[in-house]
Amino acid sequence: MTKTPWADKAAIPEVQPPPAPAKRGTSAQPEDKPVMPPPVVLCIGQLETPPKDDPNELIRHRYLCRGSGMLVVGPTGVGKSTFTLQAALCWSVGREHFGLVPARPLRSLIIQSENDHGDLAEMRDGIYAGLNFTERERRDANERVLVAREDCRTGAEFCAQVIAPLLAEHQIDLLWIDPALAYIGGEANSQKDVGGFLRNHLNPLVHKHGCAVIVVHHTNKPPSGSEKPDWSGSDFAYLGSGSAEWSNWPRAILAVRSLGSHDIYELRAGKRGGRLRWQDEQGERIYSKLIAHAKQDGFCWREATRAELELERGGSSEVRIRRYKPSLDEFMAMFPPSFRNEPREALLSAEQIKNAFHERGWHKDFYKGLCDEAESTGKLKTTAAGRYNQILRGLPGHVEAFETKQAEAGSMMAQVPLAAPSITRAKRGRKR
């Protein structure tokens, strides 16, 4: 048997070990990320209060400004895309959108992945018809609202290859991303993924190009036919599905919330809502509105009333409302006839009156009508107090006493006790 000769050891080429990985912090490798300078540091006294006509303000009362982010959140299938397109079209011609007033006509770029061009055209036409846009408004809106469809790139690639070049090419005020889950490129429940996308990829682009960004996001799946019925205050900021970063990142949040109706929903300003200065019919600050799909054919949103919601939930409006209507005398009996120390004790705020309606089983739709009737007949008088001009109501004599005390505040007269007329008469009766 022939033996296989061994190769000469000297003829075997020497294999070089792989190069050692570069150490962190070295700048020798060209692919290393360039080191950025630290942020600019200012003394707090150097900061300037925004002027009345702040050029960075986009939605009035600084609800939304350049360089900031906003979240629009709602259940799937309710019409969030129509809602956001309607906002962009209204703001493009200086119109308000459910109490959100633009500081000036705004240019928008909508990047979305769920609607084809036919869908968007139908939404546009329905909004123009439903809101009676003039021919001039239609021409302006057609030029100022830009749309693009992207369904390939996500995460850092989406920001670098889609958003960055589009913002550089088109000078806009508002960037819309619809929906968030199509572009995050990671886990919606992960603080790292959500925070990285919103804070580290999206924010720098918004700051660089001087616009604001509005991200459209889905709510969690409700446990039953309607979503949690007893949400309160800041709870509405956390309606979005996934990590709390969805709610922590934006400066402002609008939530479209299901009320168990197919057409009527609640629009809730879940974060920064006080800046919108929404008010009810009595001048009280509110943080929510009822909105509904348009009654006519086509795509459009409109404001709704509580009576509409009650009627849709079942039963005749005649029966449901009349059964709980109080008389004017019953209504007036709610107001204290006297006070012990201060006139304010005999005055009721709108919230106190509404709570009294609820306790008595009266329908609150009659609240304003009874107030107007009592005031027109001189049985009730209205005044305002406090930093936010809270509306207070009471018997005319008590309101006048309250206003007198307000005018005397800070003077020596403010220390003089003031008794209500009814208490004074009672004391005289005991002396007799």
Contacts of 354 (CB under 8 A, 6+ apart): 364, 367
**Cβ-count burial 205-215 (b if 16+ within 10 Å, e if not):** bbeebebbbbb
| pLDDT tens-place string over residues 152-209 | 999 999 999 999 999 999 999 999 999 999 999 999 999 999 999 999 999 999 999 9
Which pair of structure tokens corresponds to residue 387? 């930093």
pTM of the complete model = 0.67
pLDDT (0 to 100) of residue 320 = 45
DSSP states along 242-310: S-THHHHS-SEEEEEEE-S-SSEEEEEEEESGGGG--B-TTS-B-SEEEEEE-SSSSS-EEE--HHHHH
C-alpha separations of 403 from 300, 342, 347, 350 in Å? 46, 11, 11, 18
In angstroms, the CA 364 to CA 73 distance is: 29
In this prediction, residue 340 carries a pLDDT of 85
* pLDDT the model gives residue 180: 96
Write down the pLDDT at residue 167.
98
Q: Which helix (H) or strand (E) holds 71?
A: strand 69-74
Distances in Å between the alpha carbon of 92 and those of 85, 328, 375?
Answer: 10, 47, 41
Q: What's the chain's Rg over C-alpha atoms?
A: 31
Q: Collapsing DSSP states into helix, strand and coil, what is residue 81?
A: helix
* Tokens encoding 414: 């403010």
> Can you give the pLDDT at residue 18?
58
Question: What number of residues does the chain have?
Answer: 432
User: Which tokens hold the place of 275?
Assistant: 């800046």
Nearest CA to 204 out of 33, 392, 9, 430 is that of: 33
Q: What are the DSSP calls for 199-210, one per residue?
A: IIIIHHHHHHHT
DSSP type of residue 180: G
The structural domains of the chain, ordered by start, are 57-312 (3.40.50.300), 324-431 (1.10.10.10)
pLDDT score for 161: 98
DSSP H helices in 10-79 = none
Q: Which pLDDT does position 51 carry in this prediction?
A: 92
pLDDT of residue 428: 39
pLDDT at 222: 53
Q: What helix, strand, coil percent values describe the chain, rounded to 5?
A: 40, 20, 45
To the nearest 10 degrees (0 to 180), the angle between helices 135-144 and 80-92 is 110
Identify the pLDDT of residue 227. Answer: 47
State which residues of the chain have pLDDT below 50.
4, 6-7, 9, 12, 24-28, 223-229, 231-235, 237, 316-322, 422-432
Tokens linked to 52: 């009345």
